[in-house]
Amino acid sequence: MINKKLLLFVLGGMIMGLANAQSLRDGIKELYSGRVVVAGKILQKYENTPEGAYWLARNYLIEDRPDLARQTFEKGLANNPTAPYLLVGKGYFLLKDKKVNEAKQAFEEALTNSKGKKQDDPAILNAVGRAMSQAYALFDKVGDINWAVQKLEEAAKIATSAKKKDNWMIADIYINLGDAYRRANPGEGSKAFDAYQSALNVDPLFAQADYRKALIFKSQRNWPLFEDNIRKAIASDPNFLFGYYELYYYKLGLKDFEGAQSIGKQIVEHSPDNPNNEYFNAMSFYFNKNYDGAIASGQKLLNSGSQTINPMVYKLIAYCNIEKKDTAKAIPFVEDYFAKQKKDDFVPGDYTLKAMAYSTTPGKEHLVYQSYLDGLKADTVLENRIDMLQEGAKFFADKGKYEMQGELLAKLIEIKPADRVTINDYFNAGYFGFYRAGLYEKSWKVFDQMRTKYPDVNYGYLWTFNCSKIYDSANAKNILVPDAEKLIAFSKKDTSKDAMSNTFSATWTLANYYNDVVKDKVKAIQYLEMCRDASPNDETKQSLQSSIDMLKKVASGATKTTAATMPKQTVKPKGGR
């Protein structure tokens, strides 16, 4: 016989458990896991409260539905115009609209309205700091990031000194503080890392902290630590979709398609009712080179009517069409992808994709080139920018578009830290790019930089001379003669096997210049004698001696000949590697 009192107790516990599972905090935690569909269903139940409306709007922002987020804040403010959480949302959208002063007024009003016991509510300080930090990152550095840091530091101080501590909120404050540190000091991650670690010290299972640490290692291209921290985040929260997504795209980058498919299945398992699950089905077709199947699956998602379509599906369909050799069909999907994807989610390969889409359309080379320049502006991570320029240079090299190759390789020299620029970087831009394009003056400028940075290596001297003897053959710009003389001077102390041939080439050029252009036979003889001494064989040496003898006769007036016949150069100077 069932004990009715015990049954009532058990049922009561179940009812309480269900109620707790639907709490506002649990809805927030689902949002922090990236399970936005589940989070949205919970948070909608609290939409009529200021805090609930705030978090629902944030969920819409993560779903990339800013119009719904704005509407949620505006609806809440119409009913409760002084609510701090809603004023924070108002401030965020004022920043989005570039109304910086009005935004700060809204934030200050939110803080004033949140005061208790002579201090601001740390939750509102946290919300203000987060809103300003995120707006600064998303809307071209609008607002005062240092003020955001200040408010988050205040929030951390107040929250950690409270008698009754909310560890989850403290961890969240440290996460937002770490993000603000990174945005205030790009490229310097130590303070951010310490803030994320502080979050873990307070709440060891706060998955966002390990996730943020992983993103620091990702920016440093420290892939073992990146993956280690992502897996820690997932271990702390098995539903942590942000982590699964990062692993998925990491595996794609490694071309580990089997590993990516495995992670894709886990994403589908942990995100019930998410229409974007179809994307992973489409990717499975793509992995197996079933491009028609992938396109059909991707179109199914696009036709689903979902308001939260993953922009990656446009990229997938574009790649499928390119694999099918139909770049014309790929172009609209590439354009949709670039219109819909978040700025922070672009990767260097996206600009290569755009280049490929336009590459077979005659006259579109400027669009291809511009796509790489746009990518360079959009991506602030140094390693990504380097990859992008190298990919672009290779693309143009394969197409025989050496001028554009040279321009991208020259930009590579510009963006690299000085200690990472190598002699090969100069040679690649100067020779493989500009010289092969016939842009000898641009090539000269690159090799002049090489000559300055590497004064003990012959390439800079040789290739500035090789360029100037073409575009300044009559020394009209006063470049040819100095370049030749510098090469001769360097070659005297050069121990490489090319030293004699380089001397021969430079002295031969100067002998001709002084004989034909300046009409200075004495100078011509001087350089011809040097050229003779550097001759590669006896036949050339004898020929040059005959010319020297003839020029001496002309110079001495022993003959009425006004010009001496110069022998043709019989040895082509070495100029490669």
Name the average pLDDT for the chain: 89
- pLDDT average, residue stretch 346-353: 82
User: Does 507 reside within a domain?
Assistant: yes
Is 505 in contact with 480 (CB distance < 8 Å)? no
Residue 352 has pLDDT above 90, yes or no: no
Polymer length in residues for the chain = 577
| 101: exposed, middle or buried (Cβ count in 10 Å: 0-12, 13-18, 19+) | exposed
Q: What is the 3-state secondary structure (H, E, C) of 479-510?
A: CHHHHHHHHHHHHHHCCCCCHHHHHHHHHHHH
User: Does 558 reside within a domain?
Assistant: yes
pLDDT of residue 320: 96
Predicted structure pTM score: 0.68
User: Percentage of residues in the chain with pLDDT exceeding 90?
Assistant: 74
Which pLDDT band holds residue 6 (cuts at 50, 70, 90)? very low
User: Does 370 reside within a domain?
Assistant: no
Determine the Cα–Cα distance for residues 19 and 274; give it in Å rounded to an integer. 23
**HSE-up of residue 384 (Cα within 13 Å, Cβ side):** 23
Is 399 strand, coil or helix? coil
pLDDT of residue 15: 33
Provide the terminal-to-terminal Cα distance of the chain, rounded to the nearest Å: 94
Residue 233 has pLDDT above 90, yes or no: yes
Look at the chain and report how many structural domains it folds into: 1
Which of 336, 268, 272, 260 has the alpha carbon at shortest distance from 302? 336
pLDDT of residue 566: 56
pLDDT of residue 388: 85
Determine the Cα–Cα distance for residues 54 and 76; give it in Å rounded to an integer. 9
User: Does 503 reside within a domain?
Assistant: yes
C-beta neighbour count of 349 within 10 angstroms: 18
Residue 260 has pLDDT above 80, yes or no: yes
Tokens at residue 309, please? 């379509």
Residue-range definition of the domain harbouring residue 535: 497-577
Residue 18 has pLDDT above 50, yes or no: no
pLDDT of residue 384: 82
Residue 8 has pLDDT above 80, yes or no: no
User: Does 471 reside within a domain?
Assistant: no
Residue 403 has pLDDT above 90, yes or no: yes
Encode pLDDT of 167-201 as tens digits: 999 999 999 999 999 999 987 889 999 999 999 99
User: Does 332 reside within a domain?
Assistant: no
Residue 437 has pLDDT above 90, yes or no: yes
Determine the Cα–Cα distance for residues 527 and 551; give it in Å rounded to an integer. 12
User: Does 552 reside within a domain?
Assistant: yes
Determine the Cα–Cα distance for residues 333 and 331; give it in Å rounded to an integer. 5
Tokens at residue 435, please? 């010289």
pLDDT of residue 499: 94
| Residues 6+ away with beta carbon under 8 Å from 40 | 56, 59, 60, 63
User: Does 294 reside within a domain?
Assistant: no
